[in-house]
Amino acid sequence: MNRREFLVKSAACLAAGACAGPWARLASLAKAQPAVDLAVVQGPSPRANVRKAISLLGGISAFVRRGDVVVVKPNMAWDRLPEHAANTDPEVVAEIVRLCLEAGARKVKVFDRTCNEARRCYLRSGIQKAAEKEGAEVPFVLEQRFVKMSIPEGEELKSWLFYRDAVEADVLINVPVLKSHSVSGLTIGLKNLMGILGGDRGQLHHRFDKKIVDINTVVRPQLTLLDATRVLLRNGPQGGNLRDVQQMDTVVAGVDRVAVDAYGAVLFGRDPAQLGFLVEAQRRGLGVLDVKRLRVEKVSLAA
């Protein structure tokens, strides 16, 4: 046996071994492979939009199985009302919670490490009330529950503090809101995961593009659902002017989080290829940036 044979054979053995164990899991994933990459649903009811978008991706059971602990991560970082579009729409979050519990999830947790005082954000975003009404737990983030994790693929960051509940969850569903942001250009899904980070997050703002991708190499949400019900066009990420908000009544859902963000950029009227963090994410193999290469299903729901 020469060296090349040895390498090929051992690689084959490893691959076989790796496949044999979680075969059932792989099979179920294969079955859940959605027919489309991105579901884009526009309509007057945020809840109906969410339901349709998820059903286009193969239904919630493609992501959530009986007994799973699900973390739904909205953006509720700011002490602003839903109409300011600084936070994810509460109806969107509530509908996802409902679907997860219907699919048999053991527990659904909704939380965010906020920028303003947490109680104000939880209350005034409307998310706490809406999600709790559907049966979710909406706990405040505790500093003691951040764990330091290494970032093996990190180029700028080698380790950071991550929230234990988010990392340990069986399923993580990222539910960002589409809005403007001066540093990154836009804040969408990849950036929304900053809400599960501890420590001094301000440190992430310089060389942001690389750092946010570093973070996303560790945390991989199974589903990203972008809320573009209302979009904050200027003065993000917290806004405050109703005239900066545009009603778009749209949700975008997909497994490929780079693709969801890229589609969000297009919705916003920006070229995804001009957004540094998306280019970086594609370069590092996190997903597809070119929306034209994707199977996008657009649906318009009537009132």
Partner 1 sequence: MDLFLRGSPLVAVATILATRSWVTHVFLGLVVLALTVPLGRVFCGWVCPLGSTLDVVHKISLRKRKELKKPSPTRWRWVKFAILVGILVGAALGTQMLWPFDPIVILTRTADVALYPLFTIAVSSLLAVMVRVPFLEGAAYRAYSFLHAAWFPLQQPSFRLVELFFVLFVVILALEKASSRFWCRNLCPLGALLGFFSQFRLLHRQVDESCTACGLCRARCRMNAVEDDYVTTSAVECIACGECVSVCAPRATHYAFRKPARSGTVDLDRRRFMGATVASLATVGLLGIGFADRGRRGSVIRPPGALPEADFLDRCVRCQECVKVCSSTGGCLQPSLWESGLIGLWTPVAKPREGYCEYNCNLCGQVCPTGAIQRLPLEVKQRTKMGLAFFDKSRCIPWYRGEDCLVCEEHCPVPDKAIRFDQRMVRRPDGSEGLVKLPYVVEELCIGCGICATKCPVVGQGGIFLTNANEQRWIDSQFSSQ
Q: Which residues contact 5 (CB under 8 A, 6 or more apart)?
A: none
Q: Determine if 133 is a binding residue for partner 1 (CB under 8 A).
A: no
Selected from 117, 153, 271, 290, the binder of partner 1 by CB under 8 A is 117
**Count of positions on this chain that bind partner 1 (CB under 8 A):** 30
Residues 64-83 contacting partner 1, CB under 8 A = 79
Q: Determine if 2 is a binding residue for partner 1 (CB under 8 A).
A: no
Q: Determine if 230 is a binding residue for partner 1 (CB under 8 A).
A: no
Q: Determine if 140 is a binding residue for partner 1 (CB under 8 A).
A: yes
Selected from 87, 192, 229, 238, the binder of partner 1 by CB under 8 A is 238
Q: Which residues pair with 224 in a beta bridge?
A: 174, 254
Q: Determine if 271 is a binding residue for partner 1 (CB under 8 A).
A: no
Stretch that binds partner 1, among 200-208, 212-220, 250-258, 261-269 (CB under 8 A): 200-208
Q: Determine if 118 is a binding residue for partner 1 (CB under 8 A).
A: yes
**Closer residue to partner 1 (CB): 237 or 287:** 237
Rg (CA), the chain: 19
For the chain, the first-to-last Cα distance in angstroms comes to: 69
Selected from 10, 28, 182, 300, the binder of partner 1 by CB under 8 A is 182
C-beta of 53: minimal distance to partner 1 in Å?
Answer: 29
Selected from 203, 247, 274, 300, the binder of partner 1 by CB under 8 A is 203
**Closer residue to partner 1 (CB): 231 or 251:** 231
Selected from 240, 247, 274, 285, the binder of partner 1 by CB under 8 A is 240
Stretch that binds partner 1, among 39-47, 48-56, 205-213, 249-257 (CB under 8 A): 205-213
Q: Determine if 291 is a binding residue for partner 1 (CB under 8 A).
A: no
Q: Determine if 208 is a binding residue for partner 1 (CB under 8 A).
A: yes
C-beta of 55: minimal distance to partner 1 in Å?
Answer: 33
Q: Determine if 144 is a binding residue for partner 1 (CB under 8 A).
A: yes
- The DSSP string of the chain is --HHHHHHHHHHHHHHHHHHTTHHHHHHHHHH--S-SEEEEE-S-HHHHHHHHHHHTT-GGGT--TT-EEEEEE---SS--GGGTSS--HHHHHHHHHHHHHTT-SEEEE----SS-HHHHHHHTSHHHHHHHTT-B-PPP-GGGEEEEE-TT-SS-SEEEEEHHHHH-SEEEEE-EEEEETTTEEE-HHHHGGGGB-S-GGGGSTTHHHHHHHHHHH---SEEEEEEEEEE-SSTTT---GGGEEEEEEEEEES-HHHHHHHHHHHHT--GGG-HHHHHHHHTTS----GGGS-EEEEE---
What residues line the site for partner 1 (CB under 8 A)? 79, 115-120, 124, 139-140, 142-144, 181-183, 200, 202-203, 205-208, 235, 237-241, 244
